[in-house]
Structure 1
Amino acid sequence: MTTGADLLELSPVMPVVVIDDVEDAVPTARALLAGGIGVIELTLRTPVALAAIARVATEVPEIVIGAGTVTSPAHAKEAAGAGAKFLVTPGTTDAVLDAAFATGLPFLPGASTVSEAMRLAERGLTALKFFPAEASGGAAYLKSVAGPLPGLRFCPTGGITAATAPDYLALPNVGCIGGSWLTPKKSLADKDFATVERLAAEAAALAR
């Protein structure tokens, strides 16, 4: 895996995971893998996120571990140092973009408007995160930009559910979708990793 475009081919659904207890990181990754999902976007939204990324990178090398919610140059550098194999940003500033490039890792830069997407395309990026997907117009929006932006493909994330996932995956400019429903907060709190595995298996079976 060497480019952002490759990230879109790893799974129909990229799990967007928030880890509050570092001890949940490895069993969560293993449950996703057992369900047929070979990638995980672990968000930098909690104090244990970097430690969780390091744990997964070391103990579950079969899964492609990435860092999400990269919102600063420091985040990019720290995530790479922790062992992340890719980066995902919710939006993109020049500083964050430069820092992401500097890591040498593939990444999905966030965009929610045509102008933002065009600006990223000017930097040579053709695989983008569309966030927040539902709030920004959803599948209808992405369908409407396919014509004027034929060279771009997206991983829409934000508000997507198992029920709405097929609407996105049916679009030619969607490579995969990001979903938080695979790792419900309650399931992780209850150490109910069997549910995570079941939800992962259902997501892995979604057609693209």
Structure 2
Amino acid sequence: MDITMDGVAGPLTALQVMQDAAVIPVIVLTDVAHAVPLARALVAGGIRMLEVTLRTPQALACIEAIARDVPEAVVGAGTARSAADVQACAMAGARFIVSPGYTHAVGTACRDAHLPLLPGVATGSEIMAAQEDGYTELKFFPALQAGGLAMLKAWGGPFGDVKFCPTGGITAANAAEFLALANVACVGGSWLVPGDALARGDWARVSELARQAAGLPR
């Protein structure tokens, strides 16, 4: 059963992950106890595609907790850098994978696990390598440092069949500029989960930031 507008069951495609909302939150969690209430707060604000990054030892346990206890969310794993990462994320219940770069091994592991992948690219050669393996929905990372809006506009010509999720330096202040580009399907950003709100358990603030993000025009 495929994902629907009202549900999140079944296999996904990368394009569905990108098109569900204007922003995919980039989440770093150090306390498993925060995972479920954070996910519920984001979903309450209209954001259900959640990228939990593999940047802390607790990340896999957080992914598992969200997958188990927040079925209305679609939890994915970010910062996947190897086939072993992909396999561990699949076992934890991740339903999509985001990587900071692209390798054939990561792409193959995602196909084997039947998980959509948003591979990171920063150059034309990296885009072509991902395309050779069948990936046309890509993460542009680090977006600002790698050329930002100007680079995405330049890629619109030779890579007109590619959709991007720029991540890295995207904020509430500049997200709309990126979302206005024809080749941008969504953006990734950490501003939906401020560190101070996470530390205090201020889930109402997280929900409000999610509502604002979900309402961004595309």
TM bucket (normalised to shorter chain) is: over 0.9
1:128 alignment partner, SS class? strand
Residues 1:200 and 2:213 are matched in the alignment: no
For 2:42 and 2:158, locate their aligned partners in 1 and report how far apart those are by CA, in whole Å. 36
Higher relative contact order (CA 8 A, sep 6+): 1
- Report Cα offsets for 1:117-148 as digits up to 9, x if no partner: 01111111110011001110111110110011
Residues 1:75 and 2:85 are matched in the alignment: yes
1:128 to 117, 120, 138: 138
Deviating 4+ runs (over 6 angstroms):
none
Letter matched to residue 54 of structure 1: E
The answer for the alignment partner of 2:111 in structure 1 is 101
Q: 5 Å matches for 1:48-63?
A: 48-63=58-73
Structure 1: segments with no counterpart, 5+ residues: none
Q: How far is the alpha carbon of 1:14 from its aligned partner?
A: 0.4
Letter matched to residue 31 of structure 1: A
CA RMSD across the alignment: 0.9
For 2:107 and 2:135, locate their aligned partners in 1 and report how far apart those are by CA, in whole Å. 10
The answer for the alignment partner of 1:19 in structure 2 is 29
1:166 alignment partner, SS class? helix
The answer for the alignment partner of 1:88 in structure 2 is 98
- Report Cα offsets for 1:33-56 as digits up to 9, x if no partner: 111112100001111100100100
1:158 alignment partner, SS class? coil
Structure 2: segments with no counterpart, 5+ residues: 4-11
Question: What percent identity do the matched residue pairs reach?
Answer: 53
The answer for the alignment partner of 2:9 in structure 1 is none
> How many residues were matched structurally?
208
Q: How far is the alpha carbon of 1:103 from its aligned partner?
A: 1.1
Q: How far is the alpha carbon of 1:95 from its aligned partner?
A: 2.0
1:154 alignment partner, SS class? strand
The answer for the alignment partner of 2:47 in structure 1 is 37
- Report Cα offsets for 1:10-38 as digits up to 9, x if no partner: 11000000011000000000000111112
For 1:50 and 1:63, locate their aligned partners in 2 and report how far apart those are by CA, in whole Å. 16
The answer for the alignment partner of 1:116 in structure 2 is 126
The answer for the alignment partner of 1:156 in structure 2 is 166
The answer for the alignment partner of 2:157 in structure 1 is 147
Residues 1:188 and 2:201 are matched in the alignment: no
Q: How far is the alpha carbon of 1:101 from its aligned partner?
A: 1.9
